[in-house]
A = this chain, B = another copy of it.
Amino acid sequence: MTTGRAFTVEPWCLRELSLDLDTIAQSESVFALSNGHIGLRANLDEGEPHGLPGTYLNGVFELRPLPHAEAGYGYPESGQTVINVTNGKLIRLLVDDEPFDLRYGQLHEHERNLDFKDGVLRRNVTWTSPAGRTVKISSTRMVSFTQRAVAAICYEVEPVDGAARVVLQSELVTNEQLPDGSADPRAAAVLEAPLRPEHNGVSGERGAVLIHQTARSGLRVAAGMEHRITAPDDVNLHMTTESFDDLARTTVTTVLQPGQKLRLVKFLAYGWSAHRSVPALRDQVAAALAAARFTGWDGLLAEQRAYLDEFWRGAAVEIDGDTEIEQAIRFALFHVLQASARAEERAIPAKGLTGPGYDGHAFWDTEIFVLPLLTYSVPEAVAQALRWRYNLLPMARDRAQQLGLAGAVFPWRTIRGEECSGYWPAGTAAFHLGAGIAHAVVRYVKATDDRDFEREIGLELLVETARMWRSLGHHDTHGQFRIDGVTGPDEYSAIADNNVYTNLMARRNLFAAADCAERYPHEAGELGVTVEEMATWRDAAKAMTIPYDETLGVHPQSEGFTSHEQWDFEATGNRYPLMLHFPYFDIYRKQAVKQADLVLAMQTCGDAFTPEQKARNFAYYEAITTRDSSLSASTQAIVAAECGHLDLALDYLAEAALTDLDDLHSNTKDGLHMASLAGACLALVAGFGGLRDHEEGLSFAPRLPRGLSRIAFRMQVRGHHLRVEVTGEHATYTLDSGPRIPVLHHGEKLVLSAGEPVTRSIPAAPDNPVPTQPPGRAPRRRQ
């Protein structure tokens, strides 16, 4: 089944049946392959045409100056930008001396297929050259989950209608020319030729290696390739390999008869380091290639499949009634896995490794959107991601000191750990990031019971963020603890007092730090924590200011927010996103919301609001939220579901899930929106599943919209699998193994035992008036 869209609707893959050159950059993002360590955009094997060539290595960046029209104390002067490293995906083909280029000749078939179970990108092409020779080409590309330094491509070519002289050039190309940059602040800075050659050589089995170094960040990058070539026995092959500064090339030349197939398997390996020498990296890449060759192409495929079988066993999602959404959610899960699986003490960037958007930086949304999903599906990736934050602590302490604060201040946006935000009102001032990290620690420990992690990693993160909050806030004359002049999640407000999200999250952070220090008094003592300090954390948390507008009966997003002028949405027309059409000064001082802020507070700290407050707040903020941020829809879906707006919740879930597949923000070309993809999955689990992990423990409040007849999802809790199945009337909870666990079902306490499904009926949804959105900003109706 196909829709009017680019992709067919199928449950376990994403398939494109033809190539649209106008949207090629978008397709390069959605078909991108990654394991969190290496990322390959889905550039065509032959390199061109392309939207944006991209090969990324987690943590490889170049520095660039951050210019300021007017300088200020503490402004970062240097930014970090992800760079396109040596491209190993390239396999050029000549047919009778004509380069295979889709823009010439005749294209009969062009299909690409990202397989969520096999973890590979397949491509099938039938093409007639301008001279009239028809060939079939197929390729299968993978980035290995099991061998993290390795990618591989199997490329086959076969003439259809007559003998053809075929030349394959399998290459490593460094410093590819990139398209010009964009003025959109969300796009990346473009750096010309960021890699300086250090070493090149031919080696191994039809292999070569190129080693480069970045000029300013001093990172050394090695890329190696080796090949296995298969052809019918009677075919005469000529093969050469050569290497230069920015190019290594293995050339295979032959003549094929119709039906004869030339098959080239290309093993790719990358190594990079800020410290290791040229010989060390050369050997590291050679070793990775040796291991890959030993495993073999089929072996790599089998490992990949086994890895994904295990993943889906713990994270499977079924949705009856909307296959497109089911596909989109699986697409989302697959990409979130790709972004995080092997990130291993490096960042999970906002775009994963699918594109250079936001300069390849990681932000707060990793902890708030991506890690909650991973906590219940790939918990070990959460531990790794938080270890990365832990490793940043020395830098974060320095930054806190520079800002006059105690504890640690994590960077708003970064690759290596230094603050790279060039606009402090929406960067430095967004201190809520720290509480998001603390929140992720608490959630991970609760879900896994990983006490070693809590003691070794979690405690210090909690303590240092709590210290930051304690020094950032102060008590007023009435004894209330205030946090003034900060920016909450909503980027259409800035530098406000007592942002509710920030204060609630800070409160939880302070309590959690005190509780954790109490559990590990010895380790806390080593961090200098005293009982007096713990008392000041608890005191501040208890006295935390949470503004409330008694007249309207809603929480102002920040103090005074509800007194501000209403944004004139009627006059706005289609000038969205607002930030590209209106000045910040105007946006900040009016009631216009880019992304759910108070609504996010009601999700993450839902136990701080009554159901009536939630309903009123949700309706109030629905009317003024533009969803100009891709971080918005999933949160709105979750709270809409809780407030009984189930159809609306489905609309928002669909918006989050289709953000990239339908290119809703017109910038999927720069990479996928990882947080939105993760958020779509959360919208299912926390929205229609009603999952919460507040103080009272794991709770569910499942309810389906009219458009879905059944959903089922699996999650890992303390190493065991919990399956939740929801229909219109009932919910069934099944624990596969392990000790009994208590959960709440719509407030009713259940105790789940392994292998004993528990079914409960679903109470009627609360009946709140359907809220409205700003004119023209209602989500696309799902049905």
- A residues adjacent to B (C-beta < 8 A): 66-76, 79, 183, 185, 402-405, 421-426, 428-429, 473-474, 476-477, 482, 484-486, 494-495, 497, 551, 559-560, 563-566, 579-586, 588-590
Contact = CB atoms under 8 A, between A and B. Distances in A.
Contact of A69 (B423, B563, B588): B423
Given A68-B67, A495-B495, A583 B74 contact: yes
Given A424-B585, A585-B424, A588-B485, A580 B495 contact: no
A364 to B, nearest CB: 16
Given A476-B563, A495-B494, A588-B495, A73 B579 contact: yes
B579 A497 contact: no
Contacts of A585: 403, 424-425, 428-429, 485, 495
A70 B422 contact: yes
Nearest to A579: B73
Contacts of A474: 565-566
A129 to B, nearest CB: 45
Contacts of A581: 73
A485 B493 CA distance: 10
A67 B67 contact: yes
A182 to B, nearest CB: 10
A484 B589 contact: yes
A76 B69 CA distance: 10
Given A484-B589, A563-B482, A564-B485, A68 B69 contact: yes
Nearest to A475: B565
Question: How many chain copies does the complex carry?
Answer: 2
A241 to B, nearest CB: 44
B79 A69 contact: yes
A461 to B, nearest CB: 22
Contacts of A473: 565
A185 B70 CA distance: 6
23 contacts: A67-B67, A68-B68, A69-B75, A69-B422, A69-B423, A71-B183, A72-B579, A73-B579, A73-B580, A73-B582, A74-B584, A403-B586, A404-B583, A424-B584, A425-B495, A428-B585, A484-B565, A485-B589, A495-B585, A495-B589, A497-B560, A497-B564, A559-B560
A579 to B, nearest CB: 6
Given A404-B583, A485-B588, A560-B559, A185 B71 contact: yes
A322 B167 CA distance: 96
Nearest to A413: B70
Q: Which 6 A-B pairs have the closest CB atoms?
A: A69-B422, A485-B589, A67-B67, A74-B583, A474-B565, A66-B69
A188 B551 CA distance: 50
A402 B586 CA distance: 11
A563 B425 CA distance: 20
Contact of A73 (B66, B429, B565, B584): B584
A616 B424 CA distance: 35
A583 B66 contact: no
A69 B185 CA distance: 9
A586 B185 contact: no
Contact of A583 (B426, B428, B486, B579): B428
Given A424-B583, A428-B583, A72 B185 contact: yes
B72 A403 contact: no
A357 to B, nearest CB: 14
Nearest to A484: B589
A396 to B, nearest CB: 15
B68 A563 contact: no
Contacts of A424: 583-585
A583 B72 contact: yes
Nearest to A564: B484
Which one of A70, A74, A484, A566 has the greatest number of beta carbons of chain B within 10 Å? A70
Given A497-B563, A563-B484, A564-B485, A422 B583 contact: no
A453 B584 CA distance: 37
Given A74-B584, A404-B583, 15 more contacts: A69-B76, A70-B423, A73-B580, A405-B586, A425-B585, A428-B585, A429-B585, A484-B563, A485-B588, A494-B495, A495-B585, A497-B560, A497-B564, A497-B589, A559-B560
A64 to B, nearest CB: 10
Nearest to A430: B585
Given A72-B579, A185-B72, A404 B586 contact: yes
Contact of A72 (B66, B476, B485, B584): B584
A390 to B, nearest CB: 25
A220 to B, nearest CB: 28
Contacts of A582: 73-74, 404
A235 B428 CA distance: 74
A560 B563 contact: no
A495 B73 CA distance: 19
Contacts of A584: 72-74, 424
A423 B584 CA distance: 11
A422 B421 CA distance: 16
Contacts of A67: 67-69
A491 to B, nearest CB: 11
A157 B502 CA distance: 74
Contact of A422 (B66, B68, B497, B564): B68
Contacts of A185: 70-72
